[in-house]
Each structure stands twice: as structure tokens, then as C-alpha cells.
Amino acid sequence: MLLGGGVALAFLWAPEDGDQGISQRIFYIHVPVALTAYACFGWGAWKALRHLWTREERYDLESYTAIHQGTIFGLLTLVTGSIWARASWGVWWTWGERQLVLFLILFLFYSAYFMLRYSVDEGPGRANLSAVYALFGVALIPVSFLAIRLAEGFIHPTVFTRDGPQMTGTMFTAFLVCLAGVLALAAALYTNELTGKRLDGRLRELRELLS
């Protein structure tokens, strides 16, 4: 609902960007999705920390679900960012866009997280490994960001400025509504997946009891 309203606001209400025209409107999806992905990764790492602290099993599942959501939103960021880059600069991919490069690295990192999880047998050992790797992920985010900025010293990209003109009031409101919408969507997906996974685990336990 909130997301639908946000999209409507973004298209109908917010004034068109002078330079970029209609393509600028993807901003209202791209940036909230990116922020939501960060939030999911952070949430996953927080749950991982809680798991290592308390050794409670449920935190492992929560951490996994959050990172799963984060990876989906991260992929979405890459796709929308790529479309935006195509629309405004005529290329599908540019190494000059820091956020996109960062999301590519993060996407590789969190894909490895799933490989790790699927190659280790279920149990407390796997929960610990996943939690430690998730913690490495949040440390990697700022370090990679710094690395990408430093890399610009010798890769020499063409520098694009993202938002030349500052956002006007209506643009900002539309942006906030979109952000709230995407966050709400992520939270809903997160609880949904978590309930499903818990039900699944419970079902398996019952089945083992029966057999």
C-alpha cells in the first residue's frame, strides 16, 4: 500500500528533473531499495552477533532470513542502477558509480555466504560459521566503500554527479514515502519467510517424531 502510494507520488506529484527527465524517476525506487538492502545486511549481522552471544538457535534463522532478503534487494539495486545508468549515461555498467560497484562486491560476498551455508551440515557448527561470516560482511561494507574511493585514484573514471540540483520539498517527500514503502515491503517479506521457515522446521521435527 505504502509502496503503491509512493510510486504514484513519484510519478505524478514530484516535479521532473530538468536534465534527466523521466528516467530520473527510477531514483525513487533505486535508492530506497539500496538503503533497504543495507538495512537487511545490518539486521542480519546484528542477529548473528546476538546468536554468538546467546547461542540461541532462533537468531541463526533470523540472521539467515535477513541476509537472504538483503541479497534479493541488493540484486534489485544492481538491476535498477544498471537501468538508470543506461538511461542517463548510455551505458549499462560503469565503474565510476561507487554504489553499484560496492553492491557488486557485496553481492559476490553474500552469494558466498549461501555457498557456505549449503555446503556445511545443519547444526550449531553451521550456525556459528554463518554468523561469523555475516559479521565479516558488515565490516566489509565500509572497507570496500573506502577501497572503491581509493581506486578512483588510479582507475580514472569519468565522474558523474548524482543529484546536481538539490531535491525539492515534494521530491523529498515522495522519496521518503518510497523509502518507507520499500522498508515495509522488506519487513513483510522477512516475517513471511521467517514464519514459513519456522513452520518448515516444526514440520520436520514432527515428522521425525512420527517416524
Partner 1 sequence: MRYLADAAALARKDLLLELRGRETLPSMLLFVIAMLVAFRFALTDEGAEAADGLLWVAIVFTALLGLGRAFVAEREQGLLDGLVLAPCDRSAIWLGKLLATLAFLVAAEVIALPAFALFFDSLLDGGTLLAVLLADIGICAVGTLLAAMAVAGRARELLLPLLFLPLAIPIVVGGVGATVAADPGRYLGFLALYDIIFAILAWGTFEYVVTE
Q: Which stretches of the chain bind partner 1, using CB under 8 A?
A: 52, 105-106, 108-109, 111-112, 115-116, 119-121, 123-126, 128-129, 131-133, 135-136, 139-140, 143-144, 146-148, 150-151, 153-154
Shortest distance, CB of residue 110 to partner 1, whole angstroms?
9
Residue nearer to partner 1 on the CB measure, 12 or 154: 154
109 in Cβ contact with 137 (< 8 Å)? yes
d(CA 140, CA 16): 36
Min dist CB 140 to partner 1, Å, is: 6
Rounded least distance, CB 113 to partner 1, Å? 8
- Indicate the residue among 108 and 159 with the shorter CB distance to partner 1: 108
Residue (22 or 112) nearer to partner 1, CB: 112
In this complex, which beta carbon is closest to partner 1, that of residue 91 or of residue 139? 139
116 with 125: CB under 8 angstroms? Answer: no
Q: What is the DSSP letter of 21?
A: B
Instruction: Give me the least distance between CB of 109 and partner 1, in Å please.
Output: 4
Q: Which of left, alpha, beta for 208 (phi over 0: left; psi -120 to 50: alpha)? A: alpha
Long-range contacts of 113-120 (CB under 8 A, 24+ apart): 113/67, 113/71, 113/137, 114/71, 117/64
